[in-house]
Amino acid sequence: MVQTVRHRDYFLPEEEPPSHDTHADPPDDKATWIAFGVLLVALVAVVFLAKGLAPTVEGAVASAGLPLSVVGIVIAAVVLAPESLAALNAARRNRIQTSINLALGSALATIGLTIPTVAVISILLGIPLSLGIDTKSLTLLALSLFIATLTLGTGRTTVLQGTLHLVILATYLFLTIVP
């Protein structure tokens, strides 16, 4: 509702004055395949960089006396940092659509690409894979998905729902650090 009716101008590309039907041109086939190849190379690079960074982070987490599950949170934060910062910058410039696309796209890429890639690599190399989701985390994940369904499925999103997502995140972080 907000995106298509009430505040439609927030979601349009920047131009003066915005036209009624502004859309970007679709990429050609060559650009699409190049982007796909670069995406695969970048995904493999991120996985290997995260794997190389893990021992350093493990040492820092162990010396701080924190549980090893914090390592996954730190690595995820490092992997998601560029998109998160870009989403924040877009939000500061009042480019809501760009901000949402960056934030949700980043999460989808992490869940939809990274985890399956790591799973396939672990199967091919015969390495056991544990995603490290205990009962508390699984409960918070289910709650997050339920709240996300309410938030995105109704067509209206409020500050209260956003705050609830942040409270669930804070609860998850707290329960990870203080088991």
Domain membership of residue 78 (yes or no) is yes
Question: 105-150, pLDDT tens digit by residue?
Answer: 877 777 777 778 888 888 988 888 877 677 888 898 889 889 888 8
* Count of the separate structural domains present in the chain: 2
The arithmetic mean of pLDDT across residues 49-70, rounded, is 86
Domain that holds residue 98: 1-12+32-130
Domain membership of residue 23 (yes or no) is no
Give the model's pLDDT for residue 105. Answer: 81
- pLDDT higher than threshold 80 for residue 47: no
Give the model's pLDDT for residue 30. Answer: 92
Distance between CA atoms of 2 and 156, rounded to whole angstroms?
A: 7
Same domain, 57 and 120: yes
The arithmetic mean of pLDDT across residues 52-80, rounded, is 85
Question: 144-178, pLDDT tens digit by residue?
Answer: 889 888 887 777 777 888 889 889 989 988 988 88
Question: 31-44, pLDDT tens digit by residue?
Answer: 889 989 998 888 78
Distance between CA atoms of 51 and 21, rounded to whole angstroms?
A: 45
Domain membership of residue 21 (yes or no) is no
3-state secondary structure of 78: helix
Domain membership of residue 27 (yes or no) is no
Taking the C-alpha atoms of 75, 53, 49 and 74 in order, what is their torsion angle to the nearest 10 degrees? Answer: 10
- Computed on alpha carbons and rounded to an integer, the radius of gyration of the chain in Å comes to 19
More confident residue, 168 or 50: 168
Average of per-residue pLDDT values in the chain: 80
Give the model's pLDDT for residue 19. Answer: 54
Domain membership of residue 101 (yes or no) is yes
Domain membership of residue 17 (yes or no) is no
